[in-house]
Chains A and B, each alone.
Chain A
Amino acid sequence: MPELMLDDPDGTLVMLRDSVTGFAARFPGAKAMRERRGRGGTMDPLIWSAMAEAGWIGLLLPEECGGAGLGLREQAVLSEALGRALIAEPTGTASVFAATLLGGASPGAERSRLAAGVASGEMVAVPAWTSGAKPVVARSVNGSIALSGETRFVDAARAATDFLVVAQDADGVMLLSVAADADGVTISERVGVDGSALATISFSDCAVPADRVLSRANRSEELLRQAILHTRLALAAELTGLASKALELTIAYTSDRVQFGKPIGSFQAIQHRLVDMWIEAEFAAAAVVNAVDSLQADDVDTAELAVLAAKARAGEAAFSICRRAVHLHGAMGYTDECDIGLYLKRAINLNAMLGQPEQLRLEFVERESGYRRGRT
């Protein structure tokens, strides 16, 4: 089945894939997803710390911060493998996004503390940056910082030890960490489609010590841009793995399921649908590889286009492959018992994160040629 094809001269990528396969045998993805749903969306700390132990959570963090010091190629392969194995942990946000912010933050005690904690799994630092109805605003008060406002769609908020908050201040945007149990922090959760919980976090005159500032204006915008870029790539890879696996399961099911005296996978109507699904998965893998290559070889504007394309392609492919996969499983596919529905729900969640395909495509065209909706 389609997968990322990247040069692997020293065998690192194979090792990463193998380690995910081993991990999935210990912590089967579908089982973990069902259990999390049963707990109301709270992350299993055992799984997260095992992932940290494997070196995955701090994969992008520099070695001097306690991370693995690996790059986006390795991250893409890891994320793809996690997607295939349906290890539906908040890797995109609590690992890739957080590690990119921390890796680029101003050197200092707070950055060191968090980076080491994140890499080891002892801390969970969750990015909280999507503005809600009231954007998060930072004011200086007596040498500390007071935060007010709210931020939405925060993953794993109950498991978080710290939030990495993006707040507006007089100079622009600042990045700072906030202890999850600080006074003035309220977490309200909603149930995510895949059984994870998504939180809105409200800050009400929440006092944050000034030494928790991770970066100031100018630098923060750039950091955020980079974190979005890396996370979109990781999500695209995860969606590619997920799509490829959902297709594989559907090929197995239709090859096995007999009606009219034959496997339904022998019927041309079914075969052509499966082929179209395979082509979409193949294109998703190619788009992600293109983005990985572009991030290594090209200027940042070109690379950002490649990543927009990859996230759009992989998201669309995963959503559409999983929809058809459910259909091709027949009535079984509509049952909660059958795993294929979990793939669909996971695909919906990741596809909607950091831009749906339509939005990403419009952004691509606008950036590439200056065309905008409604004007040229």
Chain B
Amino acid sequence: MASDWNDIPDEEFRSIFRTWVDQNCPSHLRYMRKQRPLFNEVAVWYHALAAKGWLAPTWPRQYGGMGLSAAKHMIYVEEWGRLGCPRIPDHGIGLVGPLLIEYGSEEQKAHYLPRILSGEHVWCQGYSEPNAGSDLASLQTSAVLDGDEFVVNGQKIWTTLAHCANWIFVLVRTERDAKVRQKGITVLLLDLTSPGVRVRPIANLRGEADFCEVFFDNVRVPLKNLVGKINEGWTVAKSVLGHERIFLGAPTRPEYALERLRRLADARGAFEDPAFMSRFARLRLDLYDLGSAFERYAKVLRAGGELGAGVSALKIFTTELYQRITEEMLTVAGEEARLADDLAAGDVEIDAMNLFLDSRSPAIFGGSNEIQRNILAKAVLRLPG
């Protein structure tokens, strides 16, 4: 095992990582149709990564992570995608771990981090509420201190994979009369098996249940499950994403969709049609230039710099391109676009409708594209408020 992955040249690291992943990620888990498989469905891959010590790419090595720099982490994510490996329930690895490492007590780190790596704790993220989506700071789920326990009441929604999680990292309101709404928010670690918790999966447009509602009815949470300081959880919540924001803008989805469109168009003879050709060329070049734009930001990370707010441009572009490509698939499908199931294209099946429906969500999650535009208007263009 290398003493420090970051001392290895990029291409060598890529090759080591790729070779092992290719040999160890089970073939039946590659290129899963499901975007967000449940923990049980991919547990074998989760445990294999954990045993190798490669489950937590960005955690420091002292906590069982790989301690990868942003540059190496990008290679990790690229190869993962290139080999068609499934997404694992990663809120523990990507969210709770980094937050505890930064804001957690020594006791919390010692307790929770190993349980994330072992898969004993599967985490979900309790941020959005029915009346607090883009306007997250208006959240109302309350926690009232009663002795050495908080009593939590309220509801979360759009909680991804809550139905296969046993812990939730939850934002609650601990101060109602704060002058600034961002004040008075607190971060708690909550055991989903506690009495008073109810989880209800929500079917999405694709007929799958990726996300859930989570209800809290007088749920008691020990004081020691508080992360950071009481009423100062907003800072903790907002600090979640550092260089990882670049991955929201990765070209992976449109790349895959364009290849599917190409095959469908080939099988349907659409390339004979100059009007289609013109639309296809635009999509192809949008994807090509997205690669160049992604590289513009990746270069900053590789040079050790920090991403500015401008990286939101990638998220907006990639999610909207994904939508335009899948919309074109339905056009090419003609009357077959009336069908729910996959379309035959030569010797392959093209999941046009599945991709079209899937492409609705990325423009909404991770901060809707309109919120991203608000951020850019303020932080990059410095327009008046």
Contacts and interface: CB of A to CB of B under 8 A. Distances in A.
A373 interface: yes
B383 A271 contact: yes
B193 to A, nearest CB: 44
A358 B384 contact: no
Interface in B283-304: 284-285, 288-293, 295-296, 299
A364 B316 contact: no
B103 interface: no
Given A272-B373, A365-B277, A279 B316 contact: yes
Contact of A278 (B277, B290, B381): B381
A373 B277 contact: yes
Nearest to A312: B285
A289 B296 contact: yes
Contacts of B281: 358, 361-362, 364-365
A164 interface: no
Most chain A CB neighbours (cut-off 10 Å) among B272, B277, B278, B299 = B277
Contacts of B380: 278
B11 to A, nearest CB: 15
Given A266-B385, A272-B370, A365-B284, A287 B289 contact: yes
A255 B282 CA distance: 33
Interface in B249-302: 266, 269, 271-272, 274, 277-278, 280-282, 284-285, 288-293, 295-296, 299
B292 A290 contact: yes
B381 A362 contact: no
A364 B288 CA distance: 10
A237 to B, nearest CB: 14
A268 B381 contact: no
Give the dominant DSSP class at A's interface: helix
A271 to B, nearest CB: 4
A286 interface: yes
Contacts of B376: 275, 278-279
B289 A272 contact: no
A5 B296 contact: yes
A132 interface: no
Interface string B298-341: 01000000000010010011000000000000000000000000
Given A278-B313, A278-B376, A362 B289 contact: no
Contacts of B290: 283
B229 to A, nearest CB: 34
B92 to A, nearest CB: 33
Contacts of B296: 5, 282, 285-286, 289
A26 interface: no
A265 B384 CA distance: 6
A201 interface: no
B311 to A, nearest CB: 10
B373 A286 contact: no
Nearest to B280: A365
A286 B266 CA distance: 31
Nearest to A255: B384
A361 B384 contact: no
B277 A265 contact: no
Contact of B293 (A270, A286, A371): A286
Contacts of B280: 365, 371
26 contacts: A251-B381, A255-B383, A265-B383, A265-B384, A271-B381, A274-B377, A275-B381, A276-B373, A278-B376, A278-B381, A279-B313, A279-B316, A279-B376, A283-B289, A283-B290, A283-B313, A285-B296, A286-B289, A287-B293, A290-B292, A309-B288, A364-B285, A365-B281, A365-B284, A374-B277, A376-B272
